[in-house]
């Protein structure tokens, strides 16, 4: 398999994990993990069951003498707490809830859009079976068997849990080594996939905390994956090569953003100005 075939094959693999909008724009989204989803579901379940117990207590006190009416009110309070309230909460907050606020996630459609009443109802109705009746067992098994940690309700509704909380990066990125300055002027890294670039950046942030053997092995693995997308290749060690690729990519993206800002600044008078100095002629 030649270099071009390997690059095309890698690009096909990465497209499956990206969210592509109708305008053919790939978005960087991260599904919430199974552990985070379990934590959020526990918080939501406790909150909804607490609401049910509270409603059942106050309603049964008012009609404590009538057993049939008490049972009917208890059932109605249960349906209201575990089905109607979750549907209303997720619909009105566009996929948020108390548990999802705690873990920094939001329920969205598979195409990244906001969910509607139909999506929330399917998820809540299925959640009664897979979360409450099976104590989360069915939801956990289903989430472990797919890439986006979807539970059964998400598979039926066409939704998934999107993780929106991004940690701040307080570390200073590594600069381009002087030995790679001539190479950086002519290198072509435009085809480098975004996901691979993020993995390289993550490795460079964590490399000082790794053991030498693990550090070298991971650097060689990432360098082998990035090689088909970089031309020409410098004759340097694997980690130094990754540092150069990350630095060049960062500098070129920064330059592109500055050029875009300058173009928008030049267009601002035309876009915001009034014709012929109106109204002050």
pLDDT by residue for the chain (281 residues), tens only, comes to: 444 444 444 344 344 445 554 444 445 568 888 999 999 999 999 999 999 988 878 877 766 666 777 778 888 888 899 999 999 999 999 999 999 999 999 999 988 888 999 999 999 999 999 998 898 899 999 999 988 889 999 999 999 999 887 666 556 567 888 888 889 888 998 888 888 988 998 888 888 888 989 999 999 999 999 999 999 998 899 999 999 999 999 888 888 889 988 988 888 777 777 666 666 65
Buried b (16+ CB within 10 A) or exposed e, 21-45: eeeeeeeeeebbebebbbbbbebbb
What's the confidence (pLDDT) of residue 116?
A: 92
In a domain, 278, yes or no: no
Q: In this structure, are 106 and 189 located in the same domain?
A: no
Residue 233 gets which letter from DSSP?
Answer: P
Q: In this structure, are 67 and 179 located in the same domain?
A: no
How much is the pTM? 0.57
Q: In this structure, are 214 and 243 located in the same domain?
A: yes
* Beta strands per DSSP E along the chain: 19-20, 26-27, 30-31, 105-109, 159-163
Of 136, 163, 190, the one marking the end of a domain is 163
Q: In this structure, are 76 and 183 located in the same domain?
A: no
Counted residue by residue, the chain has a size of: 281
What's the confidence (pLDDT) of residue 61?
A: 72
Q: Is there a contact between 6 and 229 (Cβ–Cβ < 8 Å)? A: no
In a domain, 6, yes or no: no
Q: Is there a contact between 95 and 109 (Cβ–Cβ < 8 Å)? A: no
In a domain, 92, yes or no: yes
Q: In this structure, are 66 and 177 located in the same domain?
A: no
Q: Residue 162: beta bridge partners?
A: 31, 106
In a domain, 69, yes or no: yes
Q: In this structure, are 40 and 148 located in the same domain?
A: yes
Q: In this structure, are 35 and 145 located in the same domain?
A: yes
Q: In this structure, are 67 and 140 located in the same domain?
A: yes
Q: In this structure, are 95 and 197 located in the same domain?
A: no
In a domain, 14, yes or no: no
Of 144, 163, 182, the one marking the end of a domain is 163
Q: In this structure, are 104 and 132 located in the same domain?
A: yes
CA–CA gap between residue 164 and residue 265 (Å, rounded): 31
Structural domain for 93, as ranges: 27-163
Instruction: Report the domain count for the chain.
Output: 2
Contacts of 124 (CB under 8 A, 6+ apart): 82, 83, 86, 87, 90, 153
**Crossing angle for the helix pair 34-62 and 67-79, to the nearest 10 degrees:** 150
What's the confidence (pLDDT) of residue 8?
A: 44
Q: In this structure, are 87 and 40 located in the same domain?
A: yes
Of 163, 183, 210, the one marking the end of a domain is 163
In a domain, 22, yes or no: no
CA–CA gap between residue 239 and residue 242 (Å, rounded): 5
Q: Is there a contact between 161 and 109 (Cβ–Cβ < 8 Å)? A: no
CA nearest neighbour of 195 among 48, 21, 16, 8? 16
Alpha helices in 106-193 (DSSP H): 117-127, 137-144, 152-157, 181-186
Q: Is there a contact between 44 and 86 (Cβ–Cβ < 8 Å)? A: yes
What's the confidence (pLDDT) of residue 11?
A: 42
Q: In this structure, are 37 and 145 located in the same domain?
A: yes
In a domain, 194, yes or no: yes
In a domain, 112, yes or no: yes
């Amino acid at each position: 398999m030649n270099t071009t075939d390997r690059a095309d094959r890698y690009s096909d693999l990465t497209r499956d994990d990206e969210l592509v909008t109708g305008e053919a724009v790939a978005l960087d989204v991260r599904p919430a993990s199974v552990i985070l989803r379990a934590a959020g579901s526990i918080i939501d379940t406790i909150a909804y069951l607490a609401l049910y117990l509270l409603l059942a207590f106050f309603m049964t006190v008012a009609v404590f003498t009538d057993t049939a009416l008490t049972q009917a009110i208890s059932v109605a309070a249960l349906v209201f707490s575990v089905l109607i309230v979750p549907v209303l909460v997720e619909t009105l907050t566009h996929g948020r809830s108390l548990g999802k606020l705690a873990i920094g996630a939001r329920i969205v459609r598979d195409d990244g859009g906001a969910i509607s009443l139909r999506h929330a109802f399917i998820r809540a109705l299925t959640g009664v079976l897979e979360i409450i009746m099976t104590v989360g067992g069915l939801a956990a098994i289903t989430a472990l068997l797919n890439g986006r940690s979807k539970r059964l309700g998400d598979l039926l509704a066409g939704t998934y849990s999107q993780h929106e909380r991004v940690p701040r990066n307080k570390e200073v990125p590594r600069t381009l080594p002087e030995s790679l300055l001539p190479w950086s002027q002519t290198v072509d890294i435009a085809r480098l996939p975004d996901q691979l670039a993020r993995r390289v950046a993550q490795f460079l942030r964590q490399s000082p905390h790794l053991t030498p053997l693990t550090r070298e092995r991971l650097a060689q693995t990432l360098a082998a994956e990035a090689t088909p997308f970089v031309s020409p290749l410098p004759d340097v060690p694997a980690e130094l090569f990754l540092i150069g690729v990350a630095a060049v990519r960062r500098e070129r993206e920064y330059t592109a953003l500055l050029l875009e800002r300058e173009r928008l600044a030049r267009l601002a008078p035309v876009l915001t100005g009034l014709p012929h100095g109106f109204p002050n002629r």
